[in-house]
Chain A
Amino acid sequence: MESADLGQHTSRRFNEDMERVRTRVMQMGGFVEQQLQRAVTALIEGDSRLGEEVARDDYRVNQMEVEIDEECGRIIATRQPAASDLRVMVAIIKTITDLERIGDEVEKVGYIAARLATMEKPADNYREIRHLGKLVTEMVHDALHAFARLEADEAFEVARRDRKVDEEYEAIQRQNITFMMEDPRLIRRALEIMWVVRALERIGDHAKNICEYTVYMVHGKDIRHLSLDDAERQIRDLTGRRKDA
């Protein structure tokens, strides 16, 4: 399959359309990132108003998704893009779906942060969650960066970090259960924390999905259901490029 060659469209107007859409995707991504940071801050600082604000603002993410999605449908219908261009449109449509889902997870964290603000903070002051929050925020940021610059190698690197996120997730859940066994009065709070951790873990999954779309956009290969090692090997074979180990 041919690589995406964004510089050589027969249609100038398609080019312009696509650039406009890509810009909007980046704006949407920037807003989602900001929402994520605010949600984690609301949780850690016990700021219930900020948590509610984040949850309320999710409608803007939804709005952006619908608008970009419609715009993509319109472009596909009116410009009838060639295969490699269509791939870019597909990657955009998929990316905004994942961004919207990240928004939904963030919304949950916002609500929970608002509820947790009324309870006593855990002794470690959410140190683990702060760390996990940082990991996934960076993943989202870097996934979008790779997406914007069509950097498949960077996308692979970011996708690999999802494993670290999963490990952290498991560790926090185990620890959480230990805390509860020691003090059953903490169960209600621990359950809320469990949903937060799960939401963050899911956000990592979505960031990884975005990385996979970037690879698809650049190389035309659907790697979603492959292991990252297999995917990278197949891409290398595809491009005939050998990496020095």
Chain B
Amino acid sequence: MSEPNEGHTFKAYDGALSDLRLRAHAMGLLVAEQVETAVRALLESDREAAEGVLARERQINAYQTEIEAESFRLLAQRAPVASDLRMVLAISRAVTDLERAGDESKKIARFALASAGRMSGGPSRVMHRSLRHMAELASEAMRVAVDALDRGDARVAHDVARLDRELDQEFETALRQLMTVAMERTRLLRPIFDTVFALKSLERIGDHAKNVAEHVVFLVSGADVRHAGRDLPARGSQH
């Protein structure tokens, strides 16, 4: 952490807190990896990879349950103050976002399974580049955010926000392209719409990464920036 803690007496307490951080970090890295694996499974019609994502999703859920339980045990038993309290709160909030990001990868993996089993067509060819690019951006955003959480470094929040904006733009572009394809090839509507949802999932993962970065800002500065600057009306296209 980048700032000194307010003098603990018990070593076990420090241990519990850093253990919490370690586990949140491990969970975050797993979430970032899931994004890449899910999209690869989709692009390569790789059933095994898709099933792997679904199996590891349960591990992510278990992480969430454990980390939250441990956070609240710490809150109740140790009554941490100041930066330690913020650390516990930031981690438990981050974990909620990580779990939701994990859920989005699960949706992509389900699409991958369905299309590998030919229950529906795979993603439209023209979307492969977008899917791959957005998966890279999303997992990169997630990695940067969870590393920042681990180090208590709020300086990278801007980088995560930039990656998130790139994801938003890429999504809008891909959506416009897909709509053109949809009008020309109505027989492919189902896979096209499934592709739209997969792209949307990647865009959402970027949002969750941004949220995690905001929890880091809160952790370091004590300022809650979650809704800052995004409550003005009329902000372009909304989905």
Contact = CB atoms under 8 A, between A and B. Distances in A.
A48 to B, nearest CB: 12
B65 A224 contact: yes
A113 to B, nearest CB: 11
Contacts of B69: 222
B186 interface: yes
Interface in B218-239: 224, 226-227, 231, 233-234, 238-239
Given A82-B76, A90-B72, A194-B193, A188 B179 contact: yes
A208 to B, nearest CB: 13
Interface string A83-120: 10011001000100100000000011001100000000
Given A184-B186, A187-B179, A225-B65, A86 B75 contact: yes
Interface string B169-201: 000000000010011001101100100100000
Given A177-B190, A194-B193, A195-B239, A187 B76 contact: no
Interface residues of A, number: 41
B186 A180 contact: yes
A77 B81 contact: yes
A181 B187 contact: yes
Nearest to A194: B193
Nearest to B225: A66
B65 A80 contact: no
B114 interface: no
Given A73-B85, A77-B81, A222-B65, A107 B193 contact: no
B83 interface: no
A108 B239 contact: yes
A222 B226 CA distance: 26
Contacts of A66: 224, 226-227
Contacts of A70: 224
A86 B183 contact: no
Contacts of B89: 73
A107 B96 contact: no
B61 interface: yes
B238 A111 contact: yes
Interface residues of B, number: 33
B76 A80 contact: yes
Nearest to A69: B224
B65 A83 contact: no
A80 B238 contact: no
A58 interface: yes
Nearest to B188: A181
B233 A52 contact: yes
Contacts of A76: 75, 79, 85
Given A97-B96, A108-B238, A181-B186, A77 B79 contact: yes
Nearest to B224: A66
B193 A173 contact: yes
A92 B12 CA distance: 29
A77 B75 CA distance: 8
A224 B61 CA distance: 9
Interface string B64-99: 110011001001100101000100010001001000
Chain B interface SS verdict (over half): helix
Interface in B34-82: 58, 61-62, 64-65, 68-69, 72, 75-76, 79, 81
A188 B96 CA distance: 33
A76 B224 CA distance: 17
Contacts of B227: 59, 62-63, 65-66
A80 B233 contact: no
A58 B232 CA distance: 10
A62 B211 CA distance: 14
Interface string A171-198: 0010001001100110110010011000
27 contacts: A52-B233, A52-B234, A62-B231, A69-B224, A70-B224, A77-B81, A80-B79, A86-B72, A86-B76, A90-B68, A97-B93, A108-B238, A108-B239, A111-B238, A112-B238, A173-B193, A177-B190, A180-B186, A181-B186, A184-B182, A184-B183, A195-B239, A222-B68, A225-B61, A225-B62, A225-B64, A225-B65
Given A81-B76, A177-B193, 8 more contacts: A56-B233, A59-B227, A62-B231, A63-B227, A76-B75, A181-B189, A185-B183, A224-B65
Closest 10 CB pairs of A and B: A59-B231, A111-B238, A62-B227, A56-B233, A225-B61, A80-B79, A86-B76, A181-B186, A184-B183, A177-B189
